[in-house]
Amino acid sequence: MARQMTGAKMVVQALKDQGVDTVFGYPGGAVLPIYDEVFQQNDIKHVLVRHEQGAVHAAEGYARSTGKPGVVLVTSGPGATNAVTGLADALLDSIPLVVLTGQVPTFMIGSDGFQEADTVGITRPCTKHNWLVKETNALSPTLHEAFHVATTGRPGPVLIDIPKDVQFATGTYTAPVKGGSKRYQPQVKGDMQAITALVDALETAKKPIFYTGGGVINSGDAASQLLRELVDATGFPITSTLMGLGAYPASGKNWLGMLGMHGLYEANMAMHGCDLMINIGARFDDRITGRTDAFSPHSIKAHIDIDPSSINKVIHVDIPIVGDVAHVLEDMLKVWKSRGRKTNADGLAKWWKQIEEWKAVNCLTYKNSDKIIKPQYALQRLEALTKRHDRYITTEVGQHQMWAAQFLHFDDPNRWMTSGGLGTMGYGFPASIGVQMAHPDALVINVAGEASWLMNMQEMGTAMQYRLPVKQFILNNERLGMVRQWQQLLHGERYSSSWSEALPDFVKLAEAFGAKGIQCKDPADLEDAIMEMINYDGPVIFDCLVEKHENCFPMIPSGEPHNKMLLGDASTKDAIKEGGAVLV
């Protein structure tokens, strides 16, 4: 039944009708009518961040860990422009967000009024869709459509720009329509002819591999369960992108680990040498493909993706299937089972024998020390001491992120939050706040580098205000670690602006916010220090002083194919030569 109410009240009512329980935001003049309505209700929690970029990353963490859309409320002008980095991040990583921005009154648009910016124009390239609502009667339908667009098909961020006079004016509120907007209904069922062709290839392949991405996780728990069933039933090896970790369990017998620029040797070699590559919910990102003309040169390639624009965008595929991962996997399993569950057993046995030889290279081997903490060792101990907890991991961006992906293991989806496509330094801390808001009793750890962490350090205020016991595990090498590594290996050891100077005392910084600070520099003290962090009931900044010039291996150098990897341990020299990789 239609009801009369102000635009500001419509916003809050629409959020309630869409099942929203948490909003991340920062008030300002152009959204005060909405904030006034937020104040007058108790169903929706508002989290006051310290910067609008933090609000969007927090909403991303909330969305990624729950499967529900994250919601952001910020003011006009700088409030909206500060949100742009988070929007671009969410677009590349397919994170469903609804961002609400205030705008100057409609009669002032285009006049360069105070805190006016062309928010719709600025955010058009970094949103899935955006709207400027100039009529109060159009506001509630637009809000409901925004949630539908953000969560349907390939998820992504949407933005609604709401002028202040539209918030004050009275109009007609309409409830959400079941099934969402008829104007946007992406294809979810895959073409059965293509699915049958994929099953044909699956039955005869001698060297198959499943290559999975974040699309499996975005498709929901059913997709992850179907993937596990298919992998275990066929006995095929499986690898994953950075964004897909957890869709198939790291403890699973068919798991090869992550692939890509800093992926595992066996995963990259299997991708290069396979004869059937089944891409499920990944987008052939350049960090995965390496040099495209040399990418998996002898394989039949299938690609399952709900986004038609991702098919044949980077890599030409032989079997394209547009559809939702869960629907397509369900149909694939039905067809394959009905035809007798056939695979090429002899070929598969030889393929696994080859993969075991690649695994024997032990590409994550590193030279440990009893004098200084190696970053790999720090993460191995973190994994051992936290894996039995109800644990969620976020990361910043850099070497620590790649080491976390290599050494932390995920058996379930939605437990790993990281910035993949945009590589946003400053993502992890606010994302951990969003995760902790969604899972108040869980152990939430942000694996960080000191340079990335400083980008949004102000969110310690948010963590303290809302008593969020997020743990900031900083691998402090006093360097922009990944930049320094590239400069060492590819730029003649010319370390241009890659050394952090004038770093804060992180223990004192934590104490200044009223949080717990811990510093550890001796490997012998590391385990006790990590346990102290875990057991402390409140926010912690853990300053882990690590080897300053440790490099992250394996590494595919820019412009090289999958089988040309840099590895760091001389003990594997003979095995590496056979794989065609380069030894550092």
How far apart CA 364 and CA 449 sit, in angstroms, is 20
Determine the straight-line distance between the first and last CA of the chain, rounded to whole angstroms.
69
Distance in angstroms (rounded) separating the CA atoms of residues 542 and 533:
7
Which among 209, 555, 548 has a CA at the least distance from the CA of 364? 555
Q: Exposed, middle or buried by CB within 10 Å (0-12, 13-18, 19+), for 396?
A: buried
Phi first, then psi: what are they for 299, rounded to 5°? -110, 150
Cα gap 441→365, rounded to integer Å: 35
- Per the annotation, the verdict on 206 as an active-site residue is no
Q: Does residue 350 contact residue 343 with C-beta atoms inside 8 Å?
A: no
Active-site pick, 52, 330, 547, 550: 52
The C-alpha atoms of residue 141 and residue 65 are separated, in whole angstroms, by 28
24 has catalytic annotation:
no
Q: Active-site residue 164, yes or no? A: yes
CB 238 within 8 A of CB 210: yes
Neighbours of 233 (CB within 10 A): 13
Catalytic residue among 164, 359, 374, 471: 164
Any catalytic annotation for residue 114? yes
Cis peptide leading into residue 554 (ω within 30°)? yes
Largest CA distance in the chain: 76
Strand pairing category for 3-6 and 582-583 = unpaired
Closest CA relative to residue 562, chosen from 543, 541, 582, 533: 582
What are 520-525's contacts with CB under 8 Å, separation 24+? Answer: 520/373, 520/544, 520/545, 521/372, 521/373, 521/545, 522/373, 523/368, 523/369, 523/370, 523/371, 523/372, 523/373, 523/374, 523/377, 524/370
**b/e map 344-376, b = 16+ CB within 10 Å:** beeebeebbeebeebbebebbebeeeeeebbbb
Q: Which of 114, 342, 367, 578 is catalytic?
A: 114
Query: With contact defined as beta carbons under 8 Å apart, do 96 and 152 qualify?
Result: no
Closest by alpha carbon to 545, among 450, 420, 459, 439?
Answer: 450
Instruction: For residue 235, give the amino acid letter.
Output: G
Neighbouring CB atoms inside 10 A of 495's CB total 15
In whole angstroms, give the CA distance from residue 53 to residue 8.
23
482 is catalytic: yes
Enumerate helices (H) and strands (E) in the chain, giving the number of each. 24, 22
One of 10, 258, 482, 555 is an active-site residue; which one? 482
Outline where 158-220 has alpha helix (H): 164-168, 192-204, 214-218
Which residues are designated catalytic? Answer: 52, 114-115, 164, 482
